[in-house]
Amino acid sequence: MTPLLSIEGLHTTIRVPGSNGGREHGEVGVVDGVDLVLDAGRTLALVGESGCGKSMLSLAIMGLLPPVARIASGRILLDGLDLASLPASALRAIRGRRVAMIFQDPMTSLNPVLSVGAQIMEAIRVHVPGLDRRALRARAIATMEKARIPNAAARVDAYPHQLSGGLRQRVMIAMALACGPELLIADEPTTALDVTVQAQILGLLRDLQRETGMALLLITHDLGVVAEMADEVAVMYAGRVMEQAPVSAIFDDPQHPYTLGLLGCTPALAMNAGRQRAIAGGVPPLASMPPGCRFHPRCAAALPDCARARPMPRRLGERHLAACLRSPLEASVPAARP
Ligand SMILES: Nc1ncnc2c1ncn2[C@@H]1O[C@H](COP(=O)(O)OP(=O)(O)OP(=O)(O)O)[C@@H](O)[C@H]1O
């Protein structure tokens, strides 16, 4: 079966000012040779520390990279169609209709001076031309009901600031789902919400996924959310995928010291496993990535060879890959430098 989304050897770069006062520009890599697959109807969680390139990867899929960034090489295949090579006009037609995205903070994505109904109607109008105002409004209300917004017929005329954070995120979800996308990218969709609302939004996403059959690419730093939502997990570090596996393997049989380190930083998970410790140090700056495995300076299991060549992904199970010279890991392997 062809995966719905297949990312092959994706490299993205950003332009940075040169050393001579910024007149000459250079480029540094952000996403550095990423391969990922996501099947229709499934959920792939993308995890990793801040600055690992998770958002850059998702913006590349959407064709929404900031002006300083570009796709340097690689393919982003949606059902075989390479989004990375499409002109902007063709991408605009796919965005919203086949692939949609929701962000952490709906307030920055919603227009504060337009009613939420007007914004949902606009999302529908772009992709379904020919509907009159009445039909658009009815469809907007139906979409809000689908996103379980209580009293949608009245709330369609509300402005974003009149709604709670949870309802605003439901409006974003309604807009994203207005045209029935096959793939929804959710970038930290619940980070800004309090815990009970978080659970409701995650429950809503799961229900909608069951109803519509859409695939979900879920970006999060919260391994609790991963455990609840994901079928598969890709662990990113410094622009590269360190490990990709079914969710059960990530939690029960992690095969990359960085994954072990992340699990160790999550108190509930670490206590179960008898290990709790932060990973010392931070993600290296883009312009000075270490050679070899980018995690090796922080890795307590590193071998001399880890600083020499980039470790290629090794297959450890049918769907389990880890890019580490030490994998399969012996039980005694420490995760990160204390
Ligand atoms: N518009 C931009 N201009 C310059 N650098 C950027 C821009 N956007 C992202 N970057 C850089 O690209 C790298 C990857 O950032 P990205 O936002 O993709 O990481 P992330 O893993 O999504 O982190 P977070 O969890 O904090 O969102 C970071 O070093 C970041 O500083």
Give 3-state DSSP helix, strand, coil % of the chain, rounded to 5: 35, 25, 40
Ligand 1 within 6 A of CB of 185? no
Nearest Cα residue to 119 out of 159, 89, 153, 150 = 159
Does 238 contact ligand 1 (Cβ within 6 A)? no
State ipTM.
0.92
Mutate to test the pocket of ligand 1, among 55, 236, 240, 241 (most ligand atoms within 8 A of CB): 55
Question: Nearest to residue 177, comparing CAs of 219, 135, 207?
Answer: 207
Question: In the chain, count of helices (H) and strands (E)?
Answer: 12, 12
Position 12 in a domain: yes
Rounded to the nearest angstrom, the distance between the alpha carbon of 31 and the centre of ligand 1 is 10
Does the CB atom of residue 141 touch ligand 1 within 6 A? no
Distance CA 128, CA 139 (A): 11
325 C-alpha to ligand 1 centroid (Å): 27
pLDDT (tens digit per residue) in 36-87: 999 999 999 999 988 899 999 999 999 999 999 999 999 999 999 999 999 9
pTM of the predicted structure, to 2 decimals: 0.91
Domain presence at residue 329 = no
Domain containing residue 160: 5-283+292-322
> 251 lies in a domain?
yes
Cα–Cα distance measured from residue 240 to residue 34, given in angstroms and rounded to the nearest whole number: 6
Q: What does R_g of the chain's alpha carbons equal in angstroms?
A: 21
User: Which tokens go with 315?
Assistant: 């297959």
What's the structural domain count of the chain?
1
| Distance separating alpha carbons of residues 272 and 266, to the nearest angstrom | 10
Angle between helices 133-146 and 165-177 (to 10 degrees): 120
In a domain, 297, yes or no: yes
Question: Which pLDDT tens digit goes with each residue over 221-276?
Answer: 889 999 999 999 999 999 999 999 999 999 999 999 999 999 887 655 544 444 44
- CATH number for the domain spanning 77: value is 3.40.50.300
For ligand 1, what atom is nearest to the CA of residue 16?
4
Q: Is 54 in the pocket of ligand 1 (CB under 6 A)?
A: yes
| Strand-pair category, 43-47 with 81-82 | unpaired
Label residue 191 by pLDDT band (50, 70, 90): confident
